[in-house]
Amino acid sequence: MKRRDFMISASAAAAGAALLPKMAFAAANRIDWYTSSDQNIIDFWTNIIKPKFEAANPGVTLNLVDAGDSAGLQAIEARAVAALASKADPQADFFEGSEARLPPGALEAGVYVDFSKAGLSNYSKLNPLAADIPQNITYRGSQVLLAYDTTKLPADKAPKTWADLVAWIKANPGQFIYNRPDKGGSGGNFVVRAIWEANGRDPSKFTVDNYKPETGDPMLQKGFDILKDLAPSLMDQGAYTSGNTQSIQLLSQGAVTMIPAWSDQALSAIKTGVLPETTGLVQLSDLALAGGFTKNTIPVNGVNKAQALKLQDFILTEEIQSAIITELGGFPGVSWDYVSKDLHDKYKDVIPASIPTWPGGDWDKNMKDGWYRNVAPNVDRNA
Amino acid sequence: MTLGATSDIVGTKTQGRGLIGLLLVAIPVVLVAWMVIYPIISAVVTTLWMPDANGTDAFTLKTYRFFFSDGYSLANLQLTLWTTALCGIILLVVCLPIALYLRFAKGRLAAYVQGLAIFPLFVPSIILSYAFIRVLGPNGMVDIILNAMHLPKIRTPYLTPWGPLIGLVWDHIPLTVLILLAGLGVVSDASVEAARDVGAGRFRVFWNIILPKLGNSILVAVSFAVLGIFSSFTLPYVLGPAAPEMMGPFMQRTFRDLYDAPNAITQAVISFFFCIVFGLFYVRSVVKNQRGRG
């Protein structure tokens, strides 16, 4: 071999060797954090939680990674499950916006920490409404509600029940839009609300493991029929935006009068001026739109498991819980007794007594695909 | 343009130089084989060789049968083909005059036009999508201008099949213009002037002198645009209607929301077969070019 060839291959090997270790192992004292949530949550972590946590725990850093959406997060979690079986390093320590029942088999494999036995000092403060299996733990909640333009629809005329809402949409064609259910929870939970309406307004009929095609599909279909009936009265006779943010954009441009929106996104949009001060928010009183507490999970095999647990305990402290209300517009994950009294009094009108939830897994999957096949097409948009 | 000279580098003049040449092409060839050819073969095999009712692997066409009997999937394929074909035609109509102008015009204005034509190359498609909503969306800039002139509002193309179409055409202008411009480089000033001397008008020069030399470049430009548009994702995702979807968002949704890998791979294989036709056009034209010069 000639000298030059040797040099080329030697330097290539050296470059490869320098790159490899970084790719293969998680760094000690660096919490690899993944989320399925939207940008406002990542901003909240970057600007509030990360600096506070790193200041309180010198030497520990937070590596915040956006996994895109829940399917993206599940791909990372599947890696942790595989790593547990092969006793390898999952390169992940903390999952925000997670669900311990997913990916299928993760719970049985025992990949997630049981928080009831993890010895967190703030565990007892958690809001009882958020009670779930002990592998899931929360720190914030939010709910879908209706955001509308009070200059076009006075607050006292805003619909308070599903029947009022349907009547309003039909009486004001082109003034309402929701996003495709798989592209964001505001539209997704609007679709869910229609399905509940068609099935006796009883969310308890839908659980994470009771979907069966022969009984489930007709239940979903009844909800789709309601939505199909609404379609000609939506913006552009049946247009659907591709995300929570795009719906808010249309409301802010005055293209529509009302949209379903996440409470935290709507409140921060009003705060930053994306939505005007004249934006009104209303929740349906016969049965609220779905919402829920965001769940976190921690893999048992993460290199920085101890620090990750410390982080979960940290975000349940009064300091961060208050910031969730004031900075994020969300609900605290702890009981309202554990946030400052001023905040408690200021927000007592929006403190929810119950938050209906929609299960992930098969119901969710069939709701989304069924919507695409039944509600989205079949509309003659030129009519 | 200097393929003859490059082929000398990999020529067999000395043993050592030949080895380096092979090593240099080895990396891209291995990468293509590993990350393109192998996945394609594996995709075709996975969709044709699946466990049957008894759980044993057997040859089956069921996912393909499902795709071609499912009205929803076919509507998505049809929309993709419609968008691709229309984009290809509009791109040629828009870009050919720009390229001709840039080939023959001199001076500062031509430089500005070139800069403007290449500009979309530097705009990420997600930025383009949101800008599109602001400008052409409901109550967007166009509506505001029309309103100021007391004209009625436009029917917005946002969330209709025309949304991604307009975005994709804008996005593909630079590449198409550059390829056509490179092709026009072959047309010598002398031949154009000679034709003018014998009294040929503008159209005759274009039709009899320029177009025969440009055929290949047009084919390459259209193939590149079609390959990019067929598999596009961001613009149809953000700007397009909920249904029918283009193949890109449809595949992504089938795979990630429905966890239905076999059907998603089937959609990919079907897309691949439509794209390969244009890929072959491109390869054929490159080979023809090389033979013509070699």
Q: Is residue A370 part of a domain?
A: yes
Q: How many CB atoms lie within 10 A of CB B43?
A: 16
The whole-model pTM stands at 0.76
Contact A94, A87 (CB under 8 A): no
Q: Is residue A351 part of a domain?
A: no
In total, the C-beta contacts within 8 angstroms joining chain A to chain B are 71
Which of A6, A242, A274, A373 would best serve as a mutation to test chain B binding (most B beta carbons within 10 A)? Answer: A242
Asked if pLDDT for residue A14 goes beyond 60, the answer is no
Cis previous bond, B244, omega within 30: yes
Q: A94: which strand partners?
A: A33
Residues of A in Cβ contact (< 8 Å) with B238? 242-243, 246
Residues of B in Cβ contact (< 8 Å) with A376? 241-243
Residues of A in Cβ contact (< 8 Å) with B136? none
**What pLDDT is attached to residue B284?**
85
Asked if pLDDT for residue A6 goes beyond 70, the answer is no
For residue A299, how many C-alpha atoms fall within 13 Å in the half-sphere facing its CB?
Answer: 33
- What average pLDDT does this structure show over A217-240? 92
Give the confidence band of A315 by pLDDT, cuts at 50, 70, 90.
very high
Question: Cα separation of A245 and A186, whole Å?
Answer: 10
- Residue A329: name the closest of A348, A347, A355, A341 by CA: A347
Lowest mean pLDDT among A13-27, A68-82, B48-62, B211-225: A13-27
Q: A360: which strand partners?
A: none
Q: Do A283 and A147 fall into the same domain?
A: yes
Q: Do A299 and A252 fall into the same domain?
A: no
Asked if pLDDT for residue A10 goes beyond 80, the answer is no
**What pLDDT is attached to residue B294?**
53
The parent domain of residue A336 ranges over: 8-140+293-346
The answer to whether A368 contacts B257, with C-beta atoms less than 8 Å apart, is: yes
Residues of A in Cβ contact (< 8 Å) with B257? 71, 182, 365, 368-369
Contact A95, A77 (CB under 8 A): yes
**What pLDDT is attached to residue A167?**
95
Q: Do A194 and A272 fall into the same domain?
A: yes
Give the confidence band of A179 by pLDDT, cuts at 50, 70, 90.
very high
pLDDT in tens, A301-310: 988 999 999 9
Q: CA-CA-CA-CA torsion for A44, A50, A55, A56, nearest 10 degrees?
A: 90
Residues 6+ apart with CB under 8 A from B122: none
Q: Is residue A383 part of a domain?
A: no
Asked if pLDDT for residue A76 goes beyond 70, the answer is yes
Q: Is residue A87 part of a domain?
A: yes
**What pLDDT is attached to residue B4?**
44
- What average pLDDT does this structure show over A258-287? 88
Q: Is residue A1 part of a domain?
A: no
The top-scoring range by mean pLDDT among A323-337, A345-359, A369-383 is: A323-337
- Residue B244: name the closest of B66, B131, B64, B83 by CA: B83
**What pLDDT is attached to residue A228?**
92
Indicate the residue of A72, A256, A377 with minimum beta-carbon distance to B243.
A377
Q: Do A89 and A175 fall into the same domain?
A: no
Domain CATH for A266: 3.40.190.10
The tally of domains found in chain A comes to 2
B71: closest chain A residue by CA = A373
Mean pLDDT of chain A: 85
**What pLDDT is attached to residue B3?**
45
Q: Do A223 and A260 fall into the same domain?
A: yes
Residues of A in Cβ contact (< 8 Å) with B75? 377
Tens-level pLDDT at each residue, chain B (294 residues): 444 444 444 444 555 678 888 888 999 999 999 998 999 999 999 888 887 777 778 888 888 999 999 888 999 999 999 999 999 999 999 999 999 999 888 889 999 999 999 999 999 988 999 889 889 888 888 988 998 998 888 888 888 899 999 999 999 999 999 999 999 988 888 888 888 888 888 888 888 888 888 888 898 898 889 888 998 999 999 898 888 889 999 998 888 778 788 899 999 999 999 988 888 888 887 788 777 665
The answer to whether B133 contacts A249, with C-beta atoms less than 8 Å apart, is: yes
Residues of B with a Cβ under 8 Å from any A Cβ are: 16, 19-20, 23, 72, 75, 130, 133-134, 137-140, 156, 158-160, 237-238, 240-245, 253, 256-259
Q: Do A212 and A97 fall into the same domain?
A: no
Q: Do A226 and A117 fall into the same domain?
A: no
The answer to whether A239 contacts B258, with C-beta atoms less than 8 Å apart, is: no
**What pLDDT is attached to residue B154?**
82
Indicate the residue of A240, A253, A376 with minimum beta-carbon distance to B137.
A253
The answer to whether B19 contacts A5, with C-beta atoms less than 8 Å apart, is: yes
pLDDT in tens, A103-137: 878 888 889 999 988 888 899 888 887 777 889 99
Which of A372, A375, A381, A382 would best serve as a mutation to test chain B binding (most B beta carbons within 10 A)? Answer: A372
Rg (CA), chain B: 24
The answer to whether B139 contacts A254, with C-beta atoms less than 8 Å apart, is: yes
Q: Is residue A250 part of a domain?
A: yes
In A67-222, which ranges are E strands? 94-96, 137-149
Q: Do A182 and A46 fall into the same domain?
A: no
The answer to whether A377 contacts B257, with C-beta atoms less than 8 Å apart, is: no
Q: Do A108 and A134 fall into the same domain?
A: yes
Q: Which two tokens stand for residue A78?
A: 């599947």
Q: Do A133 and A228 fall into the same domain?
A: no
ipTM: 0.75
Q: Is residue A352 part of a domain?
A: no
- What average pLDDT does this structure show over A180-202? 92
- Residue A113: name the closest of A131, A135, A138 by CA: A135
Question: Cα separation of B136 and A25, whole Å?
Answer: 47
Q: Do A262 and A340 fall into the same domain?
A: no
A177: closest chain B residue by CA = B159
Indicate the residue of A246, A249, A377 with minimum beta-carbon distance to B72.
A377
Using DSSP bridges, classify how beta strands A279-282 and A137-149 pair: parallel, antiparallel or unpaired: antiparallel
The answer to whether A236 contacts B156, with C-beta atoms less than 8 Å apart, is: yes
The answer to whether B133 contacts A246, with C-beta atoms less than 8 Å apart, is: yes
Q: Which amino acid is at B151?
A: L
A75 min Cα distance to partner chain B (Å) = 9
The answer to whether B244 contacts A246, with C-beta atoms less than 8 Å apart, is: no
B124 min Cα distance to partner chain A (Å) = 18
Architecture of domain B71-293: Orthogonal Bundle (1.10)
Give the residue extent of every domain in chain B. 1-60, 71-293
Helix (H) or strand (E) holding B169: helix B162-184
Q: Do A230 and A366 fall into the same domain?
A: yes
Q: Is residue A273 part of a domain?
A: yes
- Residue A280: name the closest of A160, A140, A170 by CA: A160
